Structure 1
């Protein structure tokens, strides 16, 4: 039975939470008085269902159900995890918590998405203050893994432990903020950058587009993989952070920024910034911008995943945790995944090299299945492809779910021949085939040799099973 998450408030953030939980196999119950909530959240979930699976090399859990409820009590009944994302009004949040705690289990996590309130403020007057913590995410919640976990001085340790476990399970990175502070950690940086950006626009130094270009073509790329301090450590050269601090520390006293000053928030400033923003990207709808953002994030995160750096390592580890061993079907289903956006070419379909990667992944899964796994390779043994014949039968596009069926045509001594068929999950259409011949080799001599007995026995057993099917 799927575990249950309750989402109270279904705006941009609440919808992102609903999508993240549902795509990770949780039953999701939503309360939001907005009559358009179901439509809005359905659109967010559709975008998430297209993007999030592209990060993984394995199939996602079965999609959890999402239901909409007329009362808070209905939504939170039986929930293991409750995420509040209502507007940033403390009186409203207090009212919502009182309703939640009348029905919710004492052991359920009650987390707030707030960026503006500290846990101690949220916990005031609550029936069970220790149950209420902050779990502040970043948009889009279904792709960006960071969530600031702030228990405050009254946060119950068992609630914090449960929250950390659940958030990790759904692929997020819970950053435990040990001491409560206004705006937590990340938004304090964002506020400083935002404030300086407002001054640059107001003073006519830069436009909104020029500021965005400074971020996305420069330090934003460094921060995505290394953060702030590690970036500056590298900037210090061989002498490291101490040299960087000595070199650039005096600049902190220069009048470079206006961080302690706030520009007057006038209608003229709003019109100036809104006008520049409309000129910059007003030709695109919000949904088009969301799709562009998601595709870019998928490509960046997958690049980081390939290097096991930053958030990419988190996704790689989560991918490995979700991967299940092959079942004993004939033929074997060796690959089941979504085609990521970075696998497509200028024609909009998957390029030739990626077909080869899919079939290579299929053979690697079969290798693991027969015992020729990482430990086997580390011990000096492996299979090498000697010949592969790929036939491309139909187009394959980003966002499509595909699977590969693999049969062992020959498993005899050092010889192994596999037949792969790649199909579209939606309709079962055959997209490509691969006839692959492999030889077992010694990694010490780089020459062919018989496999070890346990691998040979499993390969020969599969060959007999597949020949009889």
Structure 2
């Protein structure tokens, strides 16, 4: 995979702001150039939504955010950027002018992606000094949540550059789809355009309102499309005989005048007013930011269901979480800690949506934070994706949590972890949760059991877990177990250092 340190985003609107959030929340520094007077506010609000969404969606320790900076000068914003994402308005002349300025100031090795939803890369490359590094990277809103990015090149593009761009995008949790041929509006927007045109006719002809059309989508095929695409859905509709039977049965209907896709209604003032009024009636009781959060929460719930089945966008989420675990492990292992003291492997901040009706961190969030700290510890001792792929893992079989303070919103938390004992199959750990002032907020102790996941039973640990536990044991065994440690867990001691 290709990791970069700095990206530059030219344009910080709805799409540009989403790219900024996607990069930042994956630990990449982002420099922003956008002359709009409200650019910092708009990006800040998008970033707030993205932080909220990641706190709800990602079940792995989040990495440290990248550094965000805004610049009045394009050259300064591009300085040192390894990847540049252009997201200016959809006007070809404007994009040519901006891309020309980007080329003049960007590093010769920097990749340049355009968020254009309609223009072909060959159109964007007209007049370019280095057309081989300019390509289409078309995302879908909200960019920080929806993983697909259409990666489109032209015959002028360098395939190695496109492959590197795809690797960069995967490292931020995106699912890059390499479009085979350049075409107006790529793939996704061409499909959406077909539905949009027919919806306009239905409103124009007073067949349905905007509310009714949206209800048809969200209560029927929209549910199916969240986890299966068009062709796979129709394959099922064909029954045991499959897709061929479906085509034979419904193919003749393609000749019937069911749609008006070869035509589009004129967007008159009357039609625009009708659509606007119906849309305001449908959802005008919510602000745009409220609608964005409702959308995000619904998407997160769908992702979690898909992740449980390792399917579609859920698989992308699982892979994204695996990368977060790997980053946590790499960060924890960057320098060997003092094993004669509690280990500081996880930090986080209390989000506003973590609070209960008393304004304090709700109960299950304590378990989440301690669980993330446990994952950080397991990453530190070497339980990564490669270890788990061999059919080995560590399960928590017992937990004791003490709530000692009223933890409020925006509190920065540090978790200190102590190993209280281990044997061939079990590890006993203790967490302390402290705020910025060092005040103890809560403690937790856990019994962890090493498991053969294929056999479904406890099994002895293997390297590197055994090696790293052996390395930390001399220092950690000198730390006294707290008086509140529970007896069922306290029975674990330490291996005999003299044993073979």
Q: Is the structural similarity TM-score above 0.5?
A: yes
In the alignment, structure 1 segments of 5+ residues that lack a partner are none
Give 2:419's aligned residue. 408
SS for the counterpart of 1:183 is: coil
Q: How does 1:131-210 map to 2 (within 5 A)?
A: 131-210=133-212
Give 1:75's aligned residue. 77
CA contact (8 A) 2:27 2:66 kept: yes
What is the number of equivalent residue pairs in this alignment? 468
**TM-score normalised to structure 2 length:** 0.80
SS for the counterpart of 1:308 is: coil
Give 2:296's aligned residue. 294
Q: Structure 1, residues 427-463: CA drift from partner, whole Å, max 9, x if none?
A: 7665543343466788899887876798677657655
Q: How does 1:69-468 map to 2 (within 5 A)?
A: 69-323=71-325, 324-325=328-329, 327=333, 328=337, 330-333=341-344, 387-393=398-404, 404-412=415-423, 416-422=427-433, 430=440, 432-437=442-447, 462=472, 464-468=474-478
Pick closer, same or farther for the CA change 1:86–1:438 going to 2, 3 Å. closer
User: Larger deviation: 264-273 or 312-321?
Assistant: 312-321
CA contact (8 A) 2:4 2:168 kept: no
2:54 is the alignment partner of 1:43: no
User: Larger deviation: 229-238 or 146-155?
Assistant: 229-238
Q: Structure 1, residues 138-179: CA drift from partner, whole Å, max 9, x if none?
A: 111111111111112222223212211211222111111121
SS for the counterpart of 1:225 is: coil
Report the CA distance between 1:135 and its aligned residue: 0.9
**For the aligned residues, what is the CA RMSD?**
3.7
In the alignment, structure 2 segments of 5+ residues that lack a partner are 480-500
**TM-score normalised to structure 1 length:** 0.85
Distance in 1 separating the partners of 2:349 and 2:306: 18
Distance in 2 separating the partners of 1:224 and 1:18: 25
Give 2:487's aligned residue. none
Pick closer, same or farther for the CA change 1:183–1:338 going to 2, 3 Å. farther
Give 1:6's aligned residue. 8
Pick closer, same or farther for the CA change 1:383–1:106 going to 2, 3 Å. closer
User: Larger deviation: 78-87 or 188-197?
Assistant: 78-87
User: Larger deviation: 173-182 or 91-100?
Assistant: 91-100
Pick closer, same or farther for the CA change 1:343–1:35 going to 2, 3 Å. closer
Q: Structure 1, residues 289-331: CA drift from partner, whole Å, max 9, x if none?
A: 1122122222222222222111111121122123233555643
SS for the counterpart of 1:226 is: coil
